[in-house]
Structure 1
Amino acid sequence: MTSNLKDRSSGALPRPAVGTAVLAEFRRTPLLALIVFVPVVILLEQTVPEAHTWLFLLSVAAIVPLAALLSRATEAVAARTGDTIGGLLNATLGNLTELVISFAALQAGQYLLVKASLAGAIVTNTLFMLGGAFLLGGFKHHLQEFNRVSARFQACLLFLATIAILVPSVISEVDRAPAAAFSQKLSLGLAILLIAVYGLGMLFSLRTHRELFAAVGHADEDEKPWPLSVSIVVLIVVTLLVALVSEIFVGSVQIAAEHLGMTPAFVGFIIVALVGGAAEMTTAFSAARANRLDLSVGIALGSAAQIALFVAPVLVLVSYFVGPEPMSLQFWPGAVAMMLVATMAATLLSNGGRAAWYMGVMALATYAIFGMTLFLLPPATPL
């Protein structure tokens, strides 16, 4: 009798627990309220496919909560699989929103949008997210500390990836005759090299020298991860929804950008990067306010390193099977310059292991300079 009651009680617990967890998640992440735009944009695309401006705006609003759910589910899965597998999952799924959007643009042959979104995500994470964390955290805390060894390591990975992007871009300017064929072959080799370097970097930071990357005396938040089964279901369902909404976004972006006075380069560099990283930014800013700057710096620089060393090379490899033609790592000179400056700025800002609010002002001002430049003077030729 006791066992039957126990079985009944154990079987009845998950339903209210799940409902409570859902309500708590919406209170913790207000961005999830935008989830109502997901069915709206899908329905609008079926009924009024020529309303490109509205489809663009609604798809942007719909991607934000989906990105938040993806980030939360990824954290929950990684928390239950250990550091090594969790690190691999974060590398694969941490920037899944940007990857899916770029994959949809890749299929459509919009290589300028793909490259602009990749460069924009790197610059946005290293300047806007890191600067915002320094600024918001500095408003509440006079001086904050973080693990400078971990920050330097991520900045070095970013610098390496930027050099790998710089080389094919410079070579194409020096010798134009074999530029296309040579750039594609070089990009393929560099993509494989960068993925290998990133894999070894995870081995170094998560296994052989993980004691160097410990947080500087800040405890983790007391937050229970989702059940593994719930996390996996959320990952699958939300990934499908992101893919569907991303197709709508890519299909409407060109005409909508013209109507709104924006170029695909600006949309990719600024809009896609901010939308795709909205969930991570929320976590980074909240952590900085809670005096957990190690987490904020790790999210900002770690996410940028993932994009530079993992997402971009994967898209180069995938383009051989999906895109109209293979995509290279050749970016327009302005994008390369912005990535180099952003990497140097992140290195300088994180070098001391301490942060104050004015450091955030400097990073955000640099990002604003890039945004205004791209909006007013976009690149003339798509690469």
Structure 2
Amino acid sequence: MGNSEDKPSAASSRSAGEVVADEVRRSPALALIIFVPVVILLERILPDAHTLLFLVSVVAIVPLAALLSRATEAVAAKTGDAVGGLLNATLGNLTELVISLAALQAGQHLLVKASLAGAIVTNTLFMLGGAFFLGGLKHHIQEFNRVNARFQACLLFLATIAILVPSLISEVDQPPAPSVSQDLSLGLAVLLIVVYALGMLFSLRTHRELFASVGHADEDEKPWPLGLSIILLIGVTLLVAMVSEIFVSSVQVAAEHLGMTPAFVGFIVVALVGAAAEMTTAFSAARANRLDLSVGIALGSAAQIALFVAPVLVLVSYFVGPEPMTLQFWRGAVTMMIVATIAATLLSNGGRGAWYAGVMALALYAIFAFTLFVLPPANPT
């Protein structure tokens, strides 16, 4: 009896070890996890080496984002469609959310807004364009779920309009008091969260048959044990919070030394690093002729940021940080988000993808990135 009782625990231990080993072999980027203890140690030994801390923290966030994404997917796969969809919606962009919370606590609203705008533009142009391009190089024409693409694009367009309104009222001849912008942003944040919750109800419950083909599990991937997934989810979240705090504390000085503005760092660097894990999944799915999944990841993640992450940060800012944050972005960021949303809508409207469509999206992203690097906004706040 004693031996038989020991077998399940041993098997469970072996399966957990095998899961981790298989994941490292499947994703070589996870080897970068060694930079996590390195950056924590460096922060204690060389607290004034801001440029070094910034560069190492950026590298350390990449494997943490990958582990966070995989653990979230594994837990969601075990909890059913409704709960799993809610979990993915809540934790799908947890890396960006944790980084933004750290910046919010430090009062760096410009970095927060730049990372939010950059994440939306990066997902709709760089991730979607890269999936079209890489998938198109291997497959002549690829098809995807046009209904889901239109749905996510409409949600994203609604969110960009909500962000546009507070920015517009600041440009009128007699701009209102700052308290008006705060009240407006607070009301819009609540509205966007309600709209997103109803959108999840629509896609996960009342009309989920329209979205059935999106985000199906990869048959070649072995599911993680639920216990291991939950432990990793908690542990990695704490590590992301620690590394994000180091990143935020060093980004301002490091950006000056590297000739970059905090707006460029947030718009490009933070967005690319935070979306690294999702990009890997989207690009590999496109190469496997699963462009349907790639489009769902790219547009769905952008919609999550615009309708969930940004409003949550506005609400949280009333309790964290020196002052409340508004949805008032600088004109350049608003313009880029609207153009990116329109471009993604046009590219995904036909339900088919080819490599040159990816080239056009990537070129538009490069135009935005180069412009922001060479000519940062004169009045970003």
Length-normalised TM-score, structure 2: 0.98
Shift of 1:223: 2.0
Shift of 1:12: 1.8
Equivalent residue for 2:58? 60
Equivalent residue for 1:290? 288
| Residues 18-27 or 68-77, more deviating | 18-27
Out of 222, 238, 241, the residue aligned to residue 239 of structure 2 is 241
Shift of 1:254: 0.4
**SS at structure 2 position matched to 1:330:** coil
Structure 2 counterparts to residues 78-227 of structure 1, below 5 A: 78-215=76-213, 220-227=218-225
Shift of 1:259: 0.4
Kept in 2: contact 1:147–1:214 (CA 8 A): no
Shift of 1:102: 0.3
Q: Matches of 1:121 and 1:21 in 2, distance apart?
A: 30
Equivalent residue for 1:23? 21
| Residues 325-334 or 83-92, more deviating | 83-92
Q: Matches of 2:136 and 2:58 in 1, distance apart?
A: 30
Q: Which runs of 5+ in 2 are unaligned?
A: none
Q: Matches of 2:31 and 2:307 in 1, distance apart?
A: 33
Q: Matches of 2:273 and 2:249 in 1, distance apart?
A: 17
Shift of 1:379: 1.0
| Residues 39-48 or 221-230, more deviating | 221-230
Shift of 1:104: 0.4
Length-normalised TM-score, structure 1: 0.97
| Residues 227-236 or 151-160, more deviating | 227-236
Shift of 1:323: 1.8
Equivalent residue for 1:230? 228
Letter in 2 for 1:368: A
Q: Matches of 1:300 and 1:281 in 2, distance apart?
A: 8
Kept in 2: contact 1:133–1:285 (CA 8 A): yes
Out of 358, 368, 371, the residue aligned to residue 370 of structure 1 is 368
Out of 348, 351, 354, the residue aligned to residue 350 of structure 1 is 348
Letter in 1 for 2:304: Q
| Residues 173-182 or 344-353, more deviating | 173-182
Q: Matches of 1:269 and 1:347 in 2, distance apart?
A: 21
Question: Which deviations, in whole Å up to 9, do the C-alpha atoms of 1:55-92 show, x marking residues without a partner?
Answer: 00000000000000100000011101111111111111
Kept in 2: contact 1:184–1:328 (CA 8 A): yes
Shift of 1:198: 0.3
Shift of 1:17: 1.9
User: Which 4+ stretches in 1 moved above 3 angstroms?
Assistant: 3-6, 216-220
Kept in 2: contact 1:172–1:179 (CA 8 A): no
Equivalent residue for 1:336? 334
Kept in 2: contact 1:115–1:331 (CA 8 A): yes
Letter in 2 for 1:206: L
Letter in 2 for 1:357: W
**Structure 1 pair 185–218 and aligned structure 2 pair: CA distance change class (3 A):** closer
Q: Matches of 1:143 and 1:48 in 2, distance apart?
A: 52
Give RMSD over aligned pairs.
1.4
Structure 2 counterparts to residues 256-267 of structure 1, below 5 A: 256-267=254-265
Out of 73, 76, 92, the residue aligned to residue 74 of structure 2 is 76
Out of 318, 321, 339, the residue aligned to residue 320 of structure 1 is 318
Residue identity (%): 81
Equivalent residue for 1:299? 297
